[in-house]
Amino acid sequence: MTFALHVPDAELEPEPLDPDRIVAGTPEVTGRVLWSSPDGRQLRGLWQITPGTVTDTEADELFVVVSGRATIEVEGGSVLEVGPGDAAVLRAGDRTTWTVHETLRKAYAITLP
C-alpha cells in the first residue's frame, strides 16, 4: 500500500506502559504501526510519549523526531539530546533511560531479530 500521512496530526492509539519502566512522572504512550513486513520483523510507524522518565531495552531502530524534546541516556554509552528534525539510531539490546522534557512524537523504522 502506498500512502502519505501528515505526521503531526496523525491519530495514535494508547499503548500500555509497564509501570515498572516508569522512573518519574506520569508519562503516557501512544502509537500507530503504519506498515509491517509479512514476517513481522520490519515495522514502520509513529510513537509519542508525554513528559516523564522511563527505561527501555531497544530494538534496532532509526527514528526522526517530529516534535518535542528528550534526553536519551544509553547505559554505558552515549547521551543523546533529541528534538524536532533530529534523527537517531538505537541498537538492539541498548538499555536506555528516556527523560522526556516536552511531549515527543517520532516516526520510526524498526528491525526485529
pLDDT > 70: percent of the chain: 100
Rg (CA), the chain: 14
| Domain 13-111 of CATH type 2.170.150.20 | no
Exposure letters 2-36 (e unless 16+ CB within 10 A, then b): eeeeeeeeeeeeeeebeeeeeeeeebebbbeebee
The confidence score (pLDDT) of residue 31 equals 98
pLDDT digits (tens, 9 = 90+) for 4-19: 999 999 999 999 999 9
The confidence score (pLDDT) of residue 49 equals 98
Question: Which phi and psi (to 5°) does residue 3 adopt?
Answer: -160, 170
pLDDT digits (tens, 9 = 90+) for 32-60: 999 999 999 999 999 999 999 999 999 99
Beta-carbon contacts of 86 under 8 Å, excluding residues fewer than 6 positions away, are 64, 65
**In the chain, domain spans:** 13-111
d(CA 58, CA 33): 17
pLDDT digits (tens, 9 = 90+) for 55-65: 999 999 999 99
Tally of CB atoms within 10 A around 103: 16
Instruction: Using alpha carbons only, give the angle 62, 63, 65 rounded to the nearest 5 degrees.
Output: 160
The pairing of strands 52-57 and 95-111 is antiparallel
